[in-house]
Amino acid sequence: MPDSDSANLGDLPGPLVLIGAGKMGGAMLQGWLRLGLDPRDAVVFEPQPSAEIAALGARGVRLNPQAATVRAAAAMLIAVKPQVAAEVVPRYAAMAGAGTVVVSIMAGKTLRAIAGLLPPGAAIVRTMPNTPAAIGRGITVAVANPHVTAAQRTLAHNLLAATGAVEWVADEALLDAVTAVSGSGPAYVFLLAEALAQAGVAAGLPAELAAKLARETVAGSGELLHQSELDAAVLRQNVTSPGGTTAAALDVLMGPQGLAALMEQAVAAATRRSRELAG
């Protein structure tokens, strides 16, 4: 059963405050409402709400109320760009009471940096989501600071599960490698679709057909992987007959300068960059 099916957002000890309802924050809010969040329990701060977010006002979501009218939040999700965090987060910090769990999805902002913008002793969960969250198929990795209680961790988990799978790590340092694998990973998969289409053109296919074949192959294989209980390696072996066409291609892709070596270099480069940007 996907994580999101077991989440229960119908009974919260206080409002759920969303700071920043852009692409990621907006997708999370829609997911929470699908999971049974009472719209009257949602408070959204967003200077330029999209039409979809503005329309939620009619369902009871409070959009940009006076901060002082918001009583202690059960959870506060920070989904603004990391570059504006230092300016924006302190404006809302007073809504984070003793019982509030603050969940940040800001790429690269460490627990320590986020704590510096909030009242002392704040319970904080730092996370790294990825873009398939927009269709409820993301994966988010989370790490909690020592002030987060078991109940707050469960609430944070349920909030994050609204956009896909959730994994927890105890060591914050792993978030750099997580960023390099699942945070940036969708771009690698899109590149695979681009490269496969280009290779199809080089092999003589019309560009439009090559693009369609590559797109549907990447998307369909991703879905097969999602639905199957088999490992990727087993699925690969299942479509590879000895001496056949797939084997001929895999001899190239799995050679010494092949995809595994390239991917290792790529992930190492992204991990290094994530460390450089952390703050």
Ligand X SMILES: NC(=O)c1ccc[n+]([C@@H]2O[C@H](COP(=O)([O-])OP(=O)(O)OC[C@H]3O[C@@H](n4cnc5c(N)ncnc54)[C@H](OP(=O)(O)O)[C@@H]3O)[C@@H](O)[C@H]2O)c1
Site residues, ligand X (CB under 6 A): 19-25, 45-48, 79-82, 84, 88, 105-107, 128-131, 183
Closest to ligand X by CB, 14 or 129: 129
**Residue 65 to residue 240: CA distance in whole angstroms:** 59
DSSP 232: H
* Residue 143 CB neighbour total at 10 angstroms: 21
Q: What is residue 69's three-state secondary structure?
A: helix
Closest to ligand X by CB, 76 or 210: 76
Closest to ligand X by CB, 21 or 211: 21
Residue bearing tokens 């919260």: 12
Closest to ligand X by CB, 84 or 230: 84
Closest to ligand X by CB, 25 or 164: 25
Tokens describing residue 56 = 């939620």
Residue of 232, 140, 130, 233 lying closest to 190 (CA atoms): 130
User: Closest CB to ligand X belongs to which residue?
Assistant: 22
Q: CB 233 → ligand X: shortest distance, Å? A: 27
Q: CB 140 → ligand X: shortest distance, Å? A: 8
- Sign of the torsion angle spanned by Cα atoms 56, 118, 124, 88: positive
Closest to ligand X by CB, 53 or 210: 53
Q: CB 154 → ligand X: shortest distance, Å? A: 22
Region at 239 (left for phi over 0; alpha for psi -120 to 50; beta for the rest): alpha
Q: CB 84 → ligand X: shortest distance, Å? A: 5
Tokens describing residue 139 = 């994966």
Q: CB 27 → ligand X: shortest distance, Å? A: 8
* Residue 59 CB neighbour total at 10 angstroms: 11
Q: CB 114 → ligand X: shortest distance, Å? A: 11
